[in-house]
Structure 1
Amino acid sequence: MGELTIPCMLMRGGTSRGPYLRLTDMPENRDQLAELLIKIMGSGHELQIDGLGGGNSLTSKVAMVGPSRTADADVEYLFAQVGIADKTVDFSPNCGNMLAGVAPFAVESGLVYANEGKTTVRIRNLNTNKLIHSTVLTPNKRVEYKGDVMISGANSPGAPIELTFLDVAGSKTGKLFPTGQKVDVIDGIPVTCIDAATPVMIVDASSLGKTGHEAPKDLDADDIFMQRLEALRRKAGLLMGMGDVSEKVIPKPILVSPPQTQGVICARYFVPNRCHKALAVTGSIAIVNALCNEGTLAQELVQAELGATAFKLEHPTGFIDLTANWQNGEVQSVSLVRTAKPIFSGLVYLN
């Protein structure tokens, strides 16, 4: 047919979905790469009608995976958040949900040889330069996707994929508390600016006139609230040393409130101009680190037990369970279980 094509695997990773591509098929220049991803996803149209995007921030994500250039990892993973109506690409954040599909893709594409029973893939995230260990079931040395693990925000159960995020503090800023404070006040609103797996701004929902239990669509529809939250986010970005973040998706705003049921805390996570229908993996790790540090807004709000290891976080469609791993009085890593589902594998046309 004459058109240029590249191999692609479309997969649900956690509560997100997007194409998984090989880094070796991608241009190294970030501007050229961004232009290519905009074409692949069909950005510039609210339905992304000409591409693989699904017209939602959770389905306009791309994972690119390649061989590792360092001995401490097996593969490298570059994440891109691609705009929908806007032709934009942000390489600054990581995505822990898309990360759930990285180990399966690495095995399927021959980047990693599977072991009998289980295979642990050491992943270096190029967005944050942090390491994540992902363990997948590989009976007969093949990835097992079927299972009975249900995660909130996904339609179908799957086999467990264990993710352990190592050395999560300072993913982008180099510091767990980049402002030097556990609580800052921006425009009269107390916030906690914390950088663990991803930089976030945590706000008590009540300080913005919300319960924190609202449905995402209701928060999205409140234009005045959303404008105020964005203004706070941009000022938080400056305080965190990130400069002008108006064209970036980080730091992410998180509203927290007391739990409604058996969770430790309730969260509404923004991406950043729309409320997530569940809770991002990286955002949940940031919340856990806030709960583990005395004096943060989240810890004081619910009087979280210091030294706890198990955390159940409430979000709009259910819960996410995480485990904090402590060493010398500090959280060294955070673990959780996700699932992934392959949707198709083939060629994407670059016309």
Structure 2
Amino acid sequence: MQRIPCVLMRGGTSKGPVFLDWDLPVAIEDRDELLLNLMGSGHELEIDGIGGGSPQTSKVAIVSPSLHPEADVDYLFVQVMVSQRRVDTAPNCGNMLCAVGPFAIEQGLVKASKDLTRVRIRNLNTGTFVNAEVQTPGGKVSYEGDTAIDGVPGTAAPVQLTFLDAAGSKTGKLFPTGQTQDLIDGIPVTCIDMAMPMMIIEAGQLGKRGDESPAELDADKEFLRRLESLRLQAGLAMGLGDVSDKVIPKPVLVSPAKAGGTIQVRYFMPHNCHRALAITGSIGLATACVTEGSVVTQLLGGVSEPRLKQVRIEHPSGGIDVVLSYTGDQGETIRASVVRTSRRLFSGFVYATASQRLAG
């Protein structure tokens, strides 16, 4: 059997193996096929691999030293489909992203500082840059701490992620259609590309309250078909082409907050409702909260504070706080930061059988 070095990590509310780039095949087709086999893709439980049978636990991070002067490491995210033998490398994943900094330090790709180490990360999926601040007391990564995040039991050391240039991550424009609001099949939507291309819809427009459980939404097949029809049209309008085999744009339902937050959301990946919320999704949603004319600001009654500093987004497992800052002469550039946690679960080797072995 072929054995491949691997570190299994939890990043935020996601989980998956993290590989060094040079331990995987060079050819993209061979690499993707190997990952499908290692994760057990094509079976709803991924029973013959290390995937967890859910989109949140069927994720892969590939890390390598960066040649870019503004980055320490490069990070490629791979979403491995569970029931379909297919991968998607179009989007970034902010949850797995928070595992990249600790991994890079422990693998010797970045030298640790005494107390706090900044790891400059270039995301290869989108070409964007993120700074991760990792706790390194005594020059070693610490996973122990008192930071709690909704959707993960217990507490751990904080990892702060600051997205430096997330606007237009895949399309080159914050609002790819040229408008903050569009009509698709008579329904107002906001198509935004801030860390993650998304289509945002007020839940009531689709006959939903917005506080339904993910299981309840996933069980409504007619609703899912309608949502997918809107998503496909939004993909065309955003210049992404035919997105039937892509996981972007992500459809998101928004509704009034119920627990003291700014808004309540149900985020789809894109065909199942997330049990929490993607970090990249939270960045775009927070931006929509401070953009005049978006579906979100209309839901909020307009932008009363255009320089809002913090947004709390309620999701099925709790909430995420996003801190906003503004740069540029007119404060026209928005940067967003979130605090997450990560954990190293095991390190060792993952094995491919002879029938799965591919030439590097």
TM range (shorter): over 0.9
2:324 matched to which residue of 1?
Answer: 324
1:338 partner SS: strand
1:77 partner SS: strand
2:53 matched to which residue of 1?
Answer: 55
2:251 partner SS: strand
Deviation track 1:18-45 (CA, whole Å, cap 9, x = no partner) reads 0000012122322111101101101111
1:37 matched to which residue of 2?
Answer: 35
Say which of 331, 341, 344 aligns to 2:343. 341
Matched residue type, 1:341? R
Query: After the TM superposition, which residues 3-152 of structure 1 pair with which residues of structure 2 at under 5 Å, given as runs?
Result: 3-152=1-150
Q: What TM-score does the superposition give when structure 1 sets the normalisation length? A: 0.98
Contact map agreement 1:289 1:331 (CA 8 A) in 2: no
2:247 partner SS: coil
Contact map agreement 1:182 1:192 (CA 8 A) in 2: yes
CA drift at 1:69? 1.3
Query: After the TM superposition, which residues 240-279 of structure 1 pair with which residues of structure 2 at under 5 Å, given as runs?
Result: 240-279=238-277
Q: Counterparts of 1:163 and 1:281 in 2: how far apart (Å)? A: 10
Contact map agreement 1:9 1:344 (CA 8 A) in 2: yes
Contact map agreement 2:257 2:263 (CA 8 A) in 1: yes
Deviation track 1:10-66 (CA, whole Å, cap 9, x = no partner) reads 011000000000012122322111101101101111111111100000000000100
Matched residue type, 2:124? L
Q: Counterparts of 2:228 and 2:195 in 1: how far apart (Å)? A: 21
1:171 matched to which residue of 2?
Answer: 169
1:9 partner SS: strand
1:100 partner SS: helix
Long gaps (5+) in structure 2: 354-360
Superposition CA RMSD, Å: 0.8
CA drift at 1:188? 1.0
Contact map agreement 1:257 1:267 (CA 8 A) in 2: yes
Matched residue type, 2:167? A
Q: Counterparts of 2:348 and 2:308 in 1: how far apart (Å)? A: 45
CA drift at 1:208? 0.3
1:160 matched to which residue of 2?
Answer: 158
Contact map agreement 2:94 2:280 (CA 8 A) in 1: yes
Contact map agreement 1:90 1:249 (CA 8 A) in 2: yes
Matched residue type, 2:321? D
Matched residue type, 1:233? R
Q: Counterparts of 2:230 and 2:172 in 1: how far apart (Å)? A: 22
CA drift at 1:257? 0.4
Contact map agreement 2:176 2:193 (CA 8 A) in 1: yes
1:180 matched to which residue of 2?
Answer: 178
2:178 partner SS: coil
Q: Counterparts of 1:301 and 1:329 in 2: how far apart (Å)? A: 24
Matched residue type, 2:84? D
1:209 matched to which residue of 2?
Answer: 207
Contact map agreement 2:287 2:334 (CA 8 A) in 1: no
CA drift at 1:333? 1.2
Long gaps (5+) in structure 1: none
CA drift at 1:108? 1.1
CA drift at 1:220? 0.4
How many residues in Structure 1 have an aligned counterpart in Structure 2? 349
Contact map agreement 1:324 1:333 (CA 8 A) in 2: yes
Q: Counterparts of 1:29 and 1:165 in 2: how far apart (Å)? A: 30
Q: Counterparts of 1:274 and 1:200 in 2: how far apart (Å)? A: 15
2:310 matched to which residue of 1?
Answer: 310
Identity of aligned residues (%): 54
Q: Runs of 4+ in structure 1 displaced over 6 angstroms?
A: none
1:101 partner SS: helix
